[in-house]
Amino acid sequence: MAALTTEVSRDLDADVTVVRPAGRLSLATASGLRSALLKCMTECPSAIVVDLSDCVTVSTVALTVFPAVAQHHAAQPSVAMLLCGMRRPTGPGPAALGTLPVYATLADALAAAKDARRRQLRVRLQVARSLSGPSEAREAVGGACDRWGLDDLRHWAVLIVSELVTNAIRHAGTDVEVDAALRGPYLHLRVMDSDPAPPVLATFDDLALAEHGRGLPVVAHYSTAWGYTVNSLGTGKVVWATLRTHPLGT
């Protein structure tokens, strides 16, 4: 049976990941695609666009991989999943996709993702490499929390974004971009810099000896989840963290 290959590209500016499977989508190959999509989900983009132009569906049941992945990370910020370029299946195929939106072309799907992102509550700012950078980020994120009624999260959100910006300016040595968005029941914070080197989470022993380097342990401790993504060209990265706006089950 022909293999199903998967190409992934990440547009960190647009906060969209495009996944391009190529080959035959069947019950046997769906598991590999599921793993690739779940990995993309853990990076918390605002949207994942799956371009099926080079994919042939040989089992309509295999299409359930898409809604299953879309619903998998209920304990993470909402990540929209959009499909495009598929040869519409007949019979039970459309029902297998649930409520996932399907667009004719990649351009249509990217436009829809951009429109959905534009409707989110969001603040974005450029922060120069300077001693005042963390303070600017704190002020912007604190103001956003005030406007969005996130009083209980304000202290922790300001602390986390300050540490992320300080870490980026100190270690990446570049200007940064700060982005805060309310996505479902989560406040999602992102700091983008121009250094692809991954952030280093110091150990407790390291921290006892280091004058600096406490930023990421603070982020890891106070956030619901955090991580990083290197852009497709390898010229920069995003370090992100999320905070729940209210406890699970409420």
pLDDT tier at 140, thresholds 50, 70, 90: very high
DSSP reduced 3-state for 205: helix
CATH class of 5-118: alpha beta
The structure tokens listed for 24 are 């035959």
Long-range contact pairs involving 1-10 (C-beta distance under 8 Å, separation at least 24): 1/26, 1/28, 1/29, 3/29, 4/29, 4/32, 4/33, 4/55, 6/32, 6/33, 6/36, 8/36, 8/40, 9/232, 10/43, 10/45, 10/229, 10/230, 10/231, 10/232
Of 42-46, 210-214, 220-224, the range with the lowest mean pLDDT is: 210-214
Asked whether residue 250 carries a pLDDT value surpassing 50, the answer given is no
H-helix or E-strand containing 5?
A: strand 5-11
Give all strands of the β-sheet with 176-183 in edge-to-edge order. 121-127, 176-183, 186-193, 237-244, 225-230
The confidence score (pLDDT) of residue 113 equals: 94
Q: Where are the domains of the chain?
A: 5-118, 121-244
CA distance 240 to 44: 8
Listed in order, strand segments (DSSP E) in 12-132 are 16-25, 47-51, 55-57, 80-84, 102-103, 121-127
Asked whether residue 77 carries a pLDDT value surpassing 90, the answer given is no
The confidence score (pLDDT) of residue 74 equals: 54
Specify the DSSP class assigned to residue 198. Answer: P
Asked whether residue 76 carries a pLDDT value surpassing 60, the answer given is yes
**How many C-beta atoms surround the C-beta of residue 126 within 10 A?**
11
The confidence score (pLDDT) of residue 177 equals: 94
Please report where in the chains the tokens 């853990």 appear, as a residue. Answer: 42
pLDDT tens-digit readout, 30-41: 999 999 999 998
Could you give the C-alpha distances from 141 to 64, 99, 107, 151, 194, in angstroms and in order? 38, 33, 32, 12, 21
Q: 5-118 and 121-244 share one CATH topology?
A: no
Tell which CATH architecture fits domain 121-244.
Answer: 2-Layer Sandwich (3.30)
pLDDT tens-digit readout, 156-214: 999 999 999 988 888 888 899 999 999 888 999 999 999 999 887 654 444 343 334 45
